[in-house]
Amino acid sequence: MLRAEIKKRLDGFELDVAFQADEGRVVLFGPSGAGKSLTLQAITGVMRPDAGHVEVNGRLLFDSAAGVNLPPQVRRVGYVPQSYALFPHLTVQQNVAYGVQRLDGARRRALVQEMVELVGLQGLEHRRPRELSGGQQQRVALARALASRPELLVLDEPFSNIDTGLRGTLRRELLDLQARSGIATLVVTHDLDDAFFLGSRIVVIDSGRVLQVGSREDVFYRPATRRVAEFVETRNILRATVLESNSQRLLLNWQGRPLEAEPTSLSRGQEVEVCIRPTQVMIVREDRLPHLPPPENPFCGAIVGEALQAEAYVLRFRLADSADPYDLEIELPDYVYFRLGLDRQKEATISIHRSAMHVIPAT
């Protein structure tokens, strides 16, 4: 378990974050300049906070009130920096062994070989970093960090130096490695795909403050604020007004159109923002309409823009009689796009399920 409360004032920037994470994989997620690296430095012991405390598995690493500030080498926090920081003149074996020099020769060799096998680098023990791919260099850095038997493994932007095509493979390998080692892992990233794939719990940070702490599903589908919704690429954030709010229904006015959402505690006349992920907007097949229950929140309109991504189409949908360039973004697999005949017919009826909407007070 990781508990952190960190306060630090620097030139023109103030860090004031607090979070607790019990899960095995925690992601510290936010844009560049949010304070992620400062938080990481406080946890690893590279930077001393002005106030606060840091605790891993009940062991106090830093506490300003108690005067505790353990040096980095005794914190039992394994650190893998963005650059991997491998020694270019040392082999794989020698790089991994660097952090466990205190052990005698036989024990050190056995531990190094164990770590090499754990990260799948058998046969590469005598190569130097320049002879390895980016992914292999990352594994060496992981093996070196794990060799010290840390209680917490910290990875700073682990895939920033990796080609896009390899990231999926390395994400899966990292998940597998974390499961086999059983070591709590903190991943620092600004990449949404990394955060979604690696985080069982996500801490969203911006401008030196924690905006939300929650499960992956909470953060992605139930963002606490508009800022978080923007970070996780909700893309459809609709301004609306509460028409009716009770225990059975929440009825909204969106651009003069009624929109019904799941009940929540809001007041009549209150301004709200409706967060809808583009994958949650459904396109209804016209030939199925007579044979199905009435769709929730149906709207007619037309596709006015589209872009093909990897095996998915991103569509821009404009409501009938709308004066805006487009009103909603829709994302759907390419096979669904063709099955619905959207390559030929651009007029469509959409449906937004009540459960697909997350309503928050407007900011």
> What pLDDT was estimated at residue 148?
86
The tokens for 156 are: 């700073």
Identify whether the C-beta of residue 342 lies closer than 8 Å to the C-beta of residue 348.
yes
The tokens for 310 are: 């990897």
- Give the Cα separation of 209 and 18 in Å (integer): 8
Query: Which of helix, strand or coil describes residue 135?
Result: helix
> What pLDDT was estimated at residue 167?
80
DSSP state of 76: -
> What pLDDT was estimated at residue 122?
92
Identify whether the C-beta of residue 64 lies closer than 8 Å to the C-beta of residue 78.
no
Q: Which residues of the chain have pLDDT under 50?
A: none
How many angstroms separate the Cα of 35 from the Cα of each of 30, 205, 247? 8, 7, 40
> What pLDDT was estimated at residue 166?
76
DSSP state of 211: E
Which of 353, 346, 278 lies closest to 312 in space, CA to CA? 278
> What pLDDT was estimated at residue 285?
78
- Compute the 3-state secondary structure of the chain and give helix, strand, coil in percent, each to the nearest 5: 30, 35, 35
> What pLDDT was estimated at residue 104?
75
Measured distance between the N- and C-terminal CA atoms of the chain, rounded to whole angstroms: 34
Which ranges of 207-294 would DSSP assign to H, the alpha helix?
216-221, 226-231
The tokens for 23 are: 């899960």
> What pLDDT was estimated at residue 177?
81
> What pLDDT was estimated at residue 294?
85
Contacts of 67 (CB under 8 A, 6+ apart): none
Which ranges of 156-274 would DSSP assign to H, the alpha helix?
164-181, 192-198, 216-221, 226-231
pTM of the model: 0.89
> What pLDDT was estimated at residue 291?
65
Which of 7, 80, 20 lies closest to 203 in space, CA to CA? 20
- Give the Cα separation of 329 and 331 in Å (integer): 7
> Which single residue is written with the structure tokens 């952190």?
4
How many angstroms separate the Cα of 186 from the Cα of each of 161, 195, 243, 319? 18, 11, 43, 43
